[in-house]
Amino acid sequence: MKQGTNAAIMRKRNEKTILSLINARPVSRAEIAKLTGLTRAAVTIIIDELISKGYILEEPTMQATVGRQPVMLSFNGKDIYSVGINIMRNTFCVGISDLNGNVLLEESYPILPPKGFFGVIREIIENQIAKTGIDREKIYGIGVVSPGPVDAKAQKILNPPNFNVWHNVSVADEMKKLGYEVFLANVSNASALAEMYFGPAKGINNFMTILVDEGIGSGIVLNNQLFGGISELGHTSICYDGVLCECGNRGCLEKYAAIPMILKGTGFHSWKEVIDSDNTALIEKEAEYLSTAITSANNLFDLDMVILSGDLRYHPAKINALISAFVNRRRLQNKALQICAGQVTSKSLIASSVIVHEFFS
Ligand SMILES: [Zn+2]
């Protein structure tokens, strides 16, 4: 019995490894065998099953002039769906996407207290399945994200700041009533996954996403794996005797570079206004604050890329160039650190990325 279970786990693992390879780029059966170390026979069995499930496609071959061209296999995510639920402090967003990252339908509503919320969610999902006309059997799972911290394993929202009514809420029991697998993540980690599958971090092994708006959130991927612990760049200090933060630390990045902080006393009401008026002094100040923390993160993790999202996505070329110049002047590593703007803006796709990650890993 135990042997059978182990074989099933191994089989599942091999299947996911093969799916990840094919998702990265089209590959042939022979190449898969070479890259995974599996026998050709084992690869054939798994590929045949993935083709019958509709997860992968055989690409049409070109007419070869000499010999036979290998049949290339590509990932077919457009018939596999995920439901994404993004719980935010003022609103929540529900949507259905395919695993290629196409959002079929997305709807936003004012936030509700947990009591009654999940009943409403179930109704919304049923409506969305009907509206999109998708086959409910093809929904792989439901991704739920909320402000952190969350206990992903216990599927519980813990104690996010300024969100007291949602403290200690268990997501698992309520959502399982729908009959699908449910996975919970904090929004910063989910944003990192979204950029890894659908943004500039595709194929990047080590990167950090930084969300800058009312606060500062961060997510880290190292060696292609999401760092599951509580990673809070916003609460790393850029000034050891600086402003006292609620977390107990002094000089936290968030106290200087969160948008309300950088705007304080300037007369500007939004980061958009700062960019539209091309206020170089303020843009440079924000770049310097963020660069100081990014330099520390790079020294700790030897990153390949940093992705900035949130309010900083608005015409990001100038600030990203300033940050790039700053951090690359102060690095020990041989390789340049790339600074990019985040590309995934759909709130429900960010939540669905948790399911995409479960599908491949
Ligand atoms: Zn702090």
pLDDT tens digits for range 196-212 = 999 999 989 999 999 99
Taking the centre of ligand 1 as the mean of its atom positions, its distance from the CA of residue 264, in whole angstroms, is 18
**What CATH number was assigned to the domain covering residues 202-341?**
3.30.420.40
Q: Where in the chain is the domain with CATH 1.10.10.10?
A: 2-75
* pLDDT tens track for 132-155: 999 999 999 999 999 888 998 889
Cα separation, 293 vs 290, in Å, equals 5
The CATH class of the 79-192+347-360 domain is: alpha beta
pLDDT class for 64, splitting at 50, 70, 90?
A: low
Q: Where in the chain is the domain with CATH 3.30.420.40?
A: 79-192+347-360, 202-341
The CATH class of the 2-75 domain is: mainly alpha
Q: Is 250 helix (H, G, I), strand (E, B) or coil?
A: strand
Order of strands across the sheet with 150-151? Answer: 150-151, 156-157, 169-170
* pLDDT tens track for 102-136: 999 999 999 999 998 999 999 999 999 999 999 99
* pLDDT value for 173: 79
Cα separation, 185 vs 164, in Å, equals 18
Taking the centre of ligand 1 as the mean of its atom positions, its distance from the CA of residue 250, in whole angstroms, is 7
Closest alpha carbon to 256 in 220, 287, 299: 287
Taking the centre of ligand 1 as the mean of its atom positions, its distance from the CA of residue 243, in whole angstroms, is 9
With a cut of 60, say whether residue 4 has pLDDT above it.
Answer: no
Taking the centre of ligand 1 as the mean of its atom positions, its distance from the CA of residue 263, in whole angstroms, is 19
**Residues in the 5 Å CB sphere of ion ligand 1:** 235, 245, 247, 249, 252
Taking the centre of ligand 1 as the mean of its atom positions, its distance from the CA of residue 157, in whole angstroms, is 20
Taking the centre of ligand 1 as the mean of its atom positions, its distance from the CA of residue 217, in whole angstroms, is 11
Token pair, residue 121, equals 């969610």
